[in-house]
Amino acid sequence: GAVVSQHPSRVICKSGTSVKIECRSLDFQATTMFWYRQFPKKSLMLMATSNEGSKATYEQGVEKDKFLINHASLTLSTLTVTSAHPEDSSFYICSARQGLAGIETQYFGPGTRLLVL
Amino acid sequence: AQSVTQLDSHVSVSEGTPVLLRCNYSSSYSPSLFWYVQHPNKGLQLLLKYTSAATLVKGINGFEAEFKKSETSFHLTKPSAHMSDAAEYFCVVSNTGGYQKVTFGTGTKLQVIP
C-alpha cells in the first residue's frame, strides 16, 4: 500500500530556533498533502493543505508566517516551525492524498514529536 | 457544523473477548464516517468507512461498525480481540461537499490483556 514517511520522528530544540519537518510519499505522487497537529488527549487538527507548486491553504487560526509549508515536488512537503516556542510543542502528522478528494484517499505519516525547551 | 465524540479515552479488554469502541457524531448534513487505527510509531490506517451505502460496514482485521442515524452513532466492534489490536482508534466525520471538512475524534486507546 501507499507509504508516507516523516523525518525526523522526534526533535528537541531550544526556544527561538526553527525546525523543519519533512513529509514524503514513498511510492506514489501526491498533488496534495495535509499537515495536522495533535495535542495530548485531543483530536487531530488540520493546520493546512499543501498543493504542489502553489501556496498552502491555512486553516483559521493557524499562523502562516509561523508554520511555513513548502510543497516543492510531488513527493515532498515540508513544515518549518519558525522561532519555535514551548507552546509549539506537539505531535505533527502529515498525510498525502493519492487520487481523488476524500479522506479515505489520504495516507498518513507516523508523525513527528516536537519538544521546544 | 459537525463534531465527533469518542466516549471512552481508554478501553481495556481481555484477549478473545468482544471489543466495543463508541463514537457519536453530529452533522448538519449526511456525513461520511470513518474509523482509523494508529499503532505506535505508525501512521493512521483506514479501518473502514461509511458513505451512505449499507449501514453495517465491514472493515479490515475483523472490525465492523454500524451507522445508526437515529442514535447519531457509529460504534466500532470486533467479536474477539487479538493482542495485535492494541492501538489508538480514531472516529472521523467528514462532509461530502465540494470543500471537504474533516473532524477527528479525540481517540480511544485500546488495551488488550493476555
Distance from CA of B90 to the nearest CA of A (A): 8
Q: Are strands B10-14 and B108-113 parallel, antiparallel or unpaired?
A: parallel
Render pLDDT for B65-83 as a digit per residue (tens, 0 to 9).
999 999 999 999 999 999 9
Closest among A91, A89, A10 to B38, alpha carbons compared: A91
Number of helices followed by number of strands (H, E) in chain B: 0, 12
- Tell me if A108 and B43 make a contact (CB, 8 A cut-off): yes
Which pLDDT band, with edges at 50, 70 and 90, does B28 fall under?
Answer: confident
CA distance B79 to chain A (A): 25
Place of cell 463508541: B22
pLDDT, average across residues A91-96: 93
Instruction: Give the three cell numbers for residue A45.
Output: 487538527
| pLDDT exceeds cutoff 60 at B97 | no
Is residue B11 within 8 A of residue B109, CB to CB? The reply is: yes
- Is 70 exceeded by the pLDDT of residue B42? yes
Q: If DSSP codes are grouped into helix, strand and coil, which group holds residue A105?
A: helix
Q: What is the average per-residue pLDDT within B49-56?
A: 85
3-class state of residue B86 by DSSP? coil
Tell me the C-alpha distance between A16 and A116, whole Å: 9
Q: What is the pLDDT of residue A1?
A: 66
Give A102's pLDDT tier (boundaries 50, 70, 90): low
Task: Say yes or no: A109 contacts chain B, CB-CB below 8 A.
Answer: yes
CA angle A46, B89, A99 (to 5 degrees): 50
Q: Does A9 touch chain B (CB under 8 A)?
A: yes
What average pLDDT score do residues A35-58 get?
A: 87
Q: Is B25 on the interface with A (CB under 8 A)?
A: no
| B59 contacts B13 by C-beta, under 8 angstroms | no
Percent of chain A at pLDDT above 70? 94
In total, chain A counts a number of residues equal to: 117
CA distance A92 to A31: 20
Q: Give the amino acid at A34.
A: F
